[in-house]
Structure 1
């Protein structure tokens, strides 16, 4: 493949796939079932292991 073919792919399908991945990662983070996991992770630095 030539440089132009790679450039065309990156400008169209590559960008689209990265946007879809980004939106999916944000949706996964803010899903309703993640509240318990985020609460545990929020308290992790303050937990006393002694």
Structure 2
């Protein structure tokens, strides 16, 4: 949790090797998915 422009902001992070496994969370929370190349690569 953080405060950005005096507005509380909650950050939820989910990671997995397959993007399809986290697509559900993207759709529910209207978020983003990106690929992180570190540690053999995974989607966040």
Asked if these proteins are the same fold (TM beyond 0.5), I'd say no
TM-score if structure 2 supplies the norm length?
A: 0.21
TM-score scaled by length of structure 1:
0.20
User: Using CA pairs below 8 Å that are at least 6 residues apart, which structure has the higher relative contact order?
Assistant: 2
Look at both structures and tell me which one has the larger radius of gyration over its CA atoms.
Answer: 1
Whose strand proportion is higher, 1 or 2?
A: 2
